[in-house]
Amino acid sequence: MALESLKKIEEALDHDEVSAYKANFEVFKGGLSRHDIAKYYDKWAETGEYDMHLNPNRYTGPESAARALAKQFSAEERSTARILDVAAGTGRLGAELYNLGFRHLDALDPSEGMLNKARERHIYTNFINDFIGLDNPVPVEDDTYDGLAVSGGFREGHIPATALHEMIRVVRPGMFDSYCITNTSGVICIAMREEYLDYVSEYKGTLEPFMHNLKRNGKLKFLSKDTITDYAFGKSGVIFQFVIS
Ligand SMILES: C[S@@+](CC[C@H](N)C(=O)[O-])C[C@H]1O[C@@H](n2cnc3c(N)ncnc32)[C@H](O)[C@@H]1O
């Protein structure tokens, strides 16, 4: 993003909004290695500023993703389903899933500082301090989870499109007929800012075609693609939901 655009945004926003915007911009402006990004999040979490900056008034991704995933599971299924929160961060998505009745939640994130904040919520069972979609598989057995959700993990330098293979590997296939999921498992839910599909180099012209290829190859079926108007900093978001076949 050009510096002039950032200046224009600064002029239009109040002080808190500016520092939140800047802190967020720093980590997705590009040019950071994946390890630098994890370290940035460590600090952002440890100061307590992550949850202040990206509070629910500015960033609604976790709540939107949790509500979308919950629609796929009955109240009874929520109490037994195993769910992996990928790029869990400080655990906002997990907290919302917990509020909606999910009781078996694991958190995966490369930032130990973010995971330490997530630990304080006492809602997750296992913590996996790792990147998904890089050279090594994550330390999770095949077909472990009934569902997997990501909020805010698809952005510049974060989760690569190819990580979908790894997500599919760790989620148990669901049964699907032409109308609905017939046993609830195999659900993947991804919430991200809509504009990233067009300007993040790793996703532009790649992420959605990659999803469609997986569909063509019989690896998954699309459940939905929904747009949310106020996802983050007034920008729209998109929520993809698939079931693994
Ligand atoms: C904007 S935060 C979102 C955190 C949380 N899901 C939320 O919505 O508040 C992005 C998170 O993605 C994590 N992340 C970055 N690269 C990742 C990767 N390759 N695999 C998994 N998580 C990653 C970061 O450590 C960070 O905690």
Q: Over the stretch 43-58, which tens digit does the pLDDT of each residue have?
A: 999 999 999 999 999 9
In CATH, what class is 61-244?
alpha beta
Residues at CB less than 6 angstroms from ligand 1: 37-38, 41, 54, 61-62, 86-89, 92-93, 109-111, 114, 131-133, 151-153, 158-159
How is residue 174 annotated by DSSP?
Answer: P
- Judge whether residue 15 has pLDDT over 80: no
Task: Work out the burial of residue 135: count CB atoms within 10 Å of its CB; fewer than 13 is exposed, 13-18 middle, 19 or more buried.
Answer: exposed
The CA 91 to ligand 1 mean position distance, Å, reads: 10
**pLDDT tier, 30 (very low <50, low <70, confident <90, very high otherwise):** confident
C-alpha 199/C-alpha 155 separation (Å) is: 10
Question: Which atom of ligand 1 is the closest one to the Cα of 61?
Answer: 8
Pairing of strands 181-183, 175-176: antiparallel
Inter-residue contact 50 to 89 (CB < 8 Å): yes
C-alpha 222/C-alpha 241 separation (Å) is: 6
Q: Write down the domain spans for the chain.
A: 3-53, 61-244
Q: What is the pLDDT of residues 156-182, one digit of tens each?
A: 999 999 999 999 999 999 865 555 555
